[in-house]
Amino acid sequence: MAVGLILFGILVMAFAMVAAKRLSALIFGFRAQSFFLFMLTFILAWRENSTQLYIVTTMLFAVKVVLVPNFLQKVARRIKADEDLGLSVNPTVSMSAAVLLSYMAYLFTGKIVSIPGEFENSALFISLSATMIGTFLMITRMKALAQILGLLVMENGIFLAAASVSGGMPFIVEIAIFFDILLVVIILGIFVFKINRLFTHIDVDKLTELKG
């Protein structure tokens, strides 16, 4: 039951991020989603009572709930990015699209993969929804920071799949992936700085010098 609620929370947060119009809301949404994810993994770790999963849970908390959102906020403050996300699709349409995507994810898990087991099925559904919504955010939000967040939402979705469906990946892989996410965010942050310095904005939609 608790697990179901948490999964629901992850999905709701994904929707909330689609509805978000401001950067801080987006970052908050991500933090909250990560927190739900943390709770889920914690429950899983507690159930299986595995040390490795506890370590993963801790890292999740550290990286996704604390470090990354803080870093992004810091970047946003440093470059004095305005709060606007550069929505190319307004929130209402975005929400409808997100619902549609979730429905597709639902169909996909039900029909194509057909994994037995209530929890695994819904976890896969939620994780796919989150992944697709993350992609959707990346496609429709014009600002560089929003794209980073979209990517992170995708990663969250994948992590959910990894954590629940497979009952946790091999430990070293998990660690490497966390390390990797941290690195991605930092490097992307550096590039956001560079973009801001060279272009005096972070509107990546206007980065169309290279084409054809």
Partner 1 sequence: MQIFAILLIPLALSGIAVLPGKTRSFGVFNAAGHFINAVLAVWLSLDLLRTREAAAYLGFFYADLLSAFFILTISVINFIAALYSIGYISSDVRDSTMSERKAKAYYALFNLFTLTMLSVPVVSNLGMVWVAIEMTTLVSAFLVGFYNRKESIEAAWKYIIICSVGITLALFGTILFYYTASRDGGVSSLNWTDMAAVAGDLNPSILKVAFLFIVVGYGTKAGFVPMHTWLPDAHSQALAPISALLSGVLLPTAVYAIIRFATVINICIGTSYTGNLFMFFGLMSLGISAGLVLVQRDIKRLLAYSSVENIGIISIGLGFGGTFAIAGALFHVFNHAAAKSLMFFAAGRAVKKYNSHSIRDIRGMISAMPFAGTMLIVGAFALTGMPPFSAFFSEIMIIISGFTGGFLFQSSLLLFFMAVVFCAMIHNISRSVFGEKPSGMAAEGEPLSGKLAFGILMLIICTAGIVAPGFFKELLTAASEIIRGA
Partner 2 sequence: MQLAGNFGDLSGDYLSLFFLFTILLISVPAAVYSTGYMMGEYGGKKKAVLWALLAAFVSSMALVVLTANAFVFLVAWELMSLLSYFLVVSDFKHEKSVKAGTIYIVMTHIGTAFMTAAFLVMFRYSGSFDFSALKEACSTMPPEIKNIVFLMLLAGFGTKAGLVPLHIWLPYAHPQAPSHISSIMSAVMIKTAVYGMLRFVFMILGIGAIWWGNLVLVLALVSCLAGIMYALTENDLKRLLAYSSVENIGIIMLGVGASMVFMKMGLPAVSLLALCAGLFHLINHAVFKGLLFLCAGSIYKATGTRNIEHLGGLIKKMPVTAAAFLAGSIAISGLPPFNGFVSEWLTLQALFTGAVNTGGSYKIFLCVCAALLALTGGLAAACFVKAFGVTFLAVPRSRAAERAGEVPLSMKAPMVFLAAAAVLLGVGAPSAIRCISAVADSVIAAPAGGITLSASLNTVIIASAIFTASAAAFYFMRPRRTTECNTWDCGYYKLGARTEYSATAFSKPLRIAFGFFLLPYSKTEKIRDSFYHVRSFKYEVFTTPVFRDYVYEPAVKLVFMAARQVKKIQPGSIHVYVAYIFATIVLLVIFMGRF
Which residue intervals of 49-170 are DSSP H helices?
51-60, 68-78, 91-107, 118-140, 144-160
Other CB atoms within a 10 A radius of the CB of residue 109 amount to 22
Site for partner 1 in 141-200 (CB under 8 A): 144, 147, 151, 154-155, 158, 161-162, 165-167, 169-170, 172-173, 176-177, 179-180, 183-184, 187-188, 191, 194-195, 198-199
The only residue of 136, 161, 174, 181 in contact with partner 2, by rule CB under 8 A: 136
Torsion of CA 189, 70, 67, 33, to 10 degrees: -100
The answer to whether residue 5 forms part of the interface with partner 1 (CB under 8 A) is no
- The one among 72, 113, 119, 141 contacting partner 1 by CB under 8 A: 113
Closest CA to 58 of 178, 145, 191, 203: 178
Q: What token pair was written down for 105?
A: 């994810």
* Selection from 18, 17, 14, 8 nearest residue 95 by Cα: 18
Q: What amino acid occupies position 134?
A: G
CB of 106 to partner 1, least distance (A): 15
Q: Which is nearer to partner 1, 5 or 117 (CB)?
A: 117
Closest approach of partner 1 to the CB of residue 165, in Å: 5
Choice from 7, 14, 132, 188 touching partner 2 (CB under 8 A): 132
Q: Could you please report the per-residue DSSP string of 66-77? A: IIHHHHHHHHHH
| Binder of partner 2 out of 138, 169, 184, 186 (CB under 8 A) | 138
Structure tokens at 188: 């992307």
Instruction: Name the nearest CA neighbour of 151 among 124, 125, 181, 122.
Output: 181
Contact status: 210 vs partner 2 (CB under 8 A):
yes
Which stretches of the chain bind partner 1, using CB under 8 A?
112-115, 131, 135, 138, 144, 147, 151, 154-155, 158, 161-162, 165-167, 169-170, 172-173, 176-177, 179-180, 183-184, 187-188, 191, 194-195, 198-199, 204, 207, 209-210, 212
State the residues that interact with partner 2 by CB under 8 A.
Answer: 88, 104, 108, 112, 132, 135-136, 138-140, 142, 147, 204-205, 207-212
